[in-house]
Amino acid sequence: MRSNLLYILIVALILTSCSKWEGPLPECVNVSDTRDKSLSRLSSDHSDEMPAPRGNRFLSLSVTSSSESNRTGAGTRIMIDPDEDGAEVVWEPGDKIKVQFLKEGKLYYAELVTEEGGRTSATFTTEADILGGSSYIFFAPGYKKYRETNKLTNERIFGLEVPARQTAVQGGVAAGSELAFAYVDTFTDGMSVVFRNLPTLLRFRLGGEVISQVRKIRLIAQTQIAGDAIIYNVGGSPEFHPYKISGDVISFSVTLSGNFVAGEEYHIALWPTDLHGFEMEFSNGNGEFTTVRSTQSFSFSRGEIIDIGTINLGDSFTGASPVSTNPVKYMSASEGTKPVSIVVVPDGFTLDELPAFDRLARMALESIFDTEPFKTYKERFNAWILKVPSNESGAGVTDGNGNDVTLVDNYFKTRWGASSYNDMIADQDVLYDFVSSNCPDIVSGIHTVDEVPIIILVNDSRYAGVTWFVNDYGKSYCMVSWCSNGEPIIWSYPKVMPASESNPNGGTRKITNADYDVIRWSPGDWRNLVIHEFGHAFGRLMDEYWYSPPNTTASASTINEWHSKAVSLGLNISASYGQTPWDEFLDKKAELMERDSRYSRIGVYQGGWTHIFGAWRSEIVSGMIDNRRYFNAWSRYLLAKRVMTLSGDLDSFNHNYWLERDVTVDPLRDEPWTRSGDPDRSDRYYYIYPHDPEEYEYFPPDVPPRFVKDDYNHVRR
């Protein structure tokens, strides 16, 4: 199946999308897929929310916005106030509020309506009986869907939407974008509550002679800024998480339509997020347009206004500047004897789609360098984005056995099966010729092709990710599609586990809720695949998951052979329970735990390299099992050692050097509100839904690991 990425500079940006040939990962659940009955709890609405019964009198609520200014504007009820409180709500006649509350162990909801308008304070009334309850959550104008209670935290989950299409308002923001939240423990008739706004606002003014002709402005970002999201009530404060509600959409762009006047303030409402560069397209009614690009980074918080000043469009619509295919240096090393080099290349992106690839490549690299240990050692990296257009969009389709079914004229000839990716591959001769000729660090002689891992981002919506180990000297490339056009995914853990950690003949047991309480489920998207595959391609780590069934036993001789290669492979996997590559960590475990209690996770756990028996790993869970943004301690050590080797500073690397810099945080288990332990991050990851092991199945494709030996520049002693 080919992706349908629209031309970014002409029409719109659509969202993008387990490894040695490292194959597919454990169960990946596209949470928007309602066809799978096992996903019904993730995709359907729930019947435990009931309308509150009618009372015998009207109840009232006095509602105040976050600022007392009476500033008014045309056609909208969010007015803009430049003070630190952000945007305020100006209530209009007929406005509605939806409330949900607990009473006698049940969930009820009701609507309140006002007849007042033009003020920041108004009185709302309802005929429903909403007295005598607790934990009242209010949304204005109302939530889109109630999802369910998260049994891991007892927090309630609501679906809301910031429109991806908004109408321009001078000095204000489009109606329908004015989402606000309030919370009280108990309700009494006539009480007052203060609402806070959920969206953030991008403020700008326009200059230039063509302003009167502009009819549409489209903001294009690298992450979700509009469409559906879910809101958690966390101790009376809302938390935002990008998420697709079944049947609806998420959007990386917002289109603002209307007539525009030079010098006037306009605003685009968007979900809180970090913007690392963005584009704005300004178009008239005749298809002419001008594109403005910004590389500046912004971090939005709820209710905040970011003013980007005046954008001067000049005296004509210029169209897009020619698409550059020059190498882009995303990151420059500032430490080390020499830089550690990595490369990202596109496949299945046409010339007009290369700007979209550029943004996706930056997203992928940002994710890698926001994950430890790459985050700690990022100053040692040169990261290159190399661009080459394909004649056609997408990737080829095979029969699953390497035979072409649908040919696509893409540059690196990426292709795989229609319903699986056990034969996912690229033309490696074309790939290495291109990278050798275009990667500045290879051309200059800083590194050989063996030392530069390659990430291929494929313009295809099918779930797919794989890594090929090409030789024994570190040469490798990985391939990732932007699965399901960038929609969220949840990965689980194998449902069957070894009953004994030490005995390969000890049988199996089913995973339990108690296990899940320790392990957690892993939410994410295609970027998690990039991190996992890069763990293979750069660190030469092997998969730590296993297939179950069938219950298979790993080959000790094969694992030991990997470890003896010129650049050791699979040192995160042991062929023995009693003697492991991480014995030094086990010997120093007590000392490590004195430094940080999370080193207690280090041990010897059976299961790995797709086999449930006969292979051991160092921690119960890591990103090499379920794609979480976490490498276990031993893998972090191996990755750091690889960094120091390639940067020419291996002589200064030892256990203490690593320990002084190691970060132990697993975002899913240790920092549930953020992905990287930073409490100020707005890109939130949270335990999405309650789990019941009996409801979900584990279907890792039965794909054995594969290697490729090449004759390309094979003399390297």
Distance CA 405, CA 424 (A): 13
Those residues with Cβ within 8 angstroms of residue 527's Cβ, 6 or more apart along the chain or in another chain: 363, 364, 367
Domains of the chain plus CATH, in order, are 49-312 (no CATH), 326-661 (3.40.390.10)
247, two tokens = 């049947």
Cα 687–Cα 66–Cα 68 angle in degrees, nearest 5: 175
Q: Is the pLDDT of residue 448 over 90?
A: yes
**Residues recorded for the chain:** 717
- Predicted local confidence at residue 174, as pLDDT: 85
- Predicted local confidence at residue 351, as pLDDT: 85
Q: List, for residues 370-397, the tens digit of each pLDDT value.
A: 999 999 999 999 999 999 999 999 999 9
Question: Order of strands, edge to edge, in the sheet holding 266-270?
Answer: 266-270, 200-207, 305-312
> What is the number of other CB atoms lying within 10 angstroms of the CB of residue 314?
11
Identity of the amino acid at 105: G
Q: Which residue has the higher pLDDT, 524 or 569?
A: 569
User: Up-side HSE of residue 526: CA atoms within 13 Å toward CB?
Assistant: 29
Of 73-77, 541-545, 589-593, which range is least confident?
73-77
Residues 412-421: what's their mean pLDDT? 91
Per the DSSP assignment, residues forming a β-bridge with 100 are 109, 137
Q: How confident is the model at residue 322 (pLDDT cuts 50, 70, 90)?
A: low
How many DSSP H helices and E strands does the chain contain? 12, 40
* Strand (E) or helix (H) holding 51: strand 49-51
Closest CA to 521 of 271, 692, 272, 681: 692
Q: How confident is the model at residue 147 (pLDDT cuts 50, 70, 90)?
A: low
Identity of the amino acid at 608: G
- Predicted local confidence at residue 715, as pLDDT: 28
Distance CA 671, CA 533 (A): 23
Average pLDDT score, the chain: 81
The sign of the dihedral angle between the CA atoms of 254, 258, 262, 266 is negative
Cα 599–Cα 603–Cα 607 angle in degrees, nearest 5: 130
- Predicted local confidence at residue 680, as pLDDT: 34
Q: Is the pLDDT of residue 38 over 50?
A: no
Omega before 550 within 30 of 0, i.e. cis: yes
| 416 touches 425 (CB < 8 A) | yes
Of 1-15, 174-188, 243-257, 541-555, which range is least confident?
1-15
Q: How confident is the model at residue 1 (pLDDT cuts 50, 70, 90)?
A: very low
Closest CA to 269 of 187, 161, 414, 362: 161
Q: What are phi and psi of 426, to 5 degrees?
A: -125, 170
Q: Is the pLDDT of residue 596 over 90?
A: yes
| 519 touches 492 (CB < 8 A) | no
Q: How confident is the model at residue 537 (pLDDT cuts 50, 70, 90)?
A: very high
375, two tokens = 């985050």
Q: List, for residues 599-636, the tens digit of each pLDDT value.
A: 999 999 999 999 999 999 999 999 999 899 999 999 99
Q: How confident is the model at residue 320 (pLDDT cuts 50, 70, 90)?
A: low
* Strand (E) or helix (H) holding 100: strand 96-103
Q: Which residue has the higher pLDDT, 18 or 411?
A: 411
Q: List, for residues 644-653, the tens digit of each pLDDT value.
A: 999 999 999 9
Q: Which residue has the higher pLDDT, 304 or 25?
A: 304
Identity of the amino acid at 614: G
User: Up-side HSE of residue 134: CA atoms within 13 Å toward CB?
Assistant: 5
Those residues with Cβ within 8 angstroms of residue 260's Cβ, 6 or more apart along the chain or in another chain: 168, 206, 211, 212, 214, 217, 266
| 83 touches 182 (CB < 8 A) | no
For tokens 């549409």, what's the residue? 216
- The SS3 call for residue 643 is helix
Distance CA 111, CA 172 (A): 26
Identity of the amino acid at 212: S
- Predicted local confidence at residue 712, as pLDDT: 35
Residues 539-562: what's their mean pLDDT? 92
Identity of the amino acid at 293: R
Identity of the amino acid at 535: G
Residues 357-378: what's their mean pLDDT? 94
> What is the number of other CB atoms lying within 10 angstroms of the CB of residue 689?
21
End-to-end CA distance of the chain: 43
Q: Is the pLDDT of residue 32 over 50?
A: no
Of 243-247, 570-574, 660-664, which range is least confident?
243-247
Residues 472-495: what's their mean pLDDT? 84
Q: Is the pLDDT of residue 23 over 60?
A: no
Q: Is the pLDDT of residue 694 over 60?
A: no
H, E, C per residue of 203-253: EEEEECCCHHHCCEEEEECCCCCEEEEEEEEECCEEEEEECCCCCCCEECE
H, E, C per residue of 408-423: CCCCCCCEEECCCCCC
Distance CA 586, CA 540 (A): 22
| 455 touches 362 (CB < 8 A) | no
- Predicted local confidence at residue 150, as pLDDT: 59
Distance CA 191, CA 184 (A): 10
Residues 248-260: what's their mean pLDDT? 83
Q: List, for residues 71-122, the tens digit of each pLDDT value.
A: 333 345 566 654 444 567 778 888 899 999 999 989 999 999 998 877 778 8
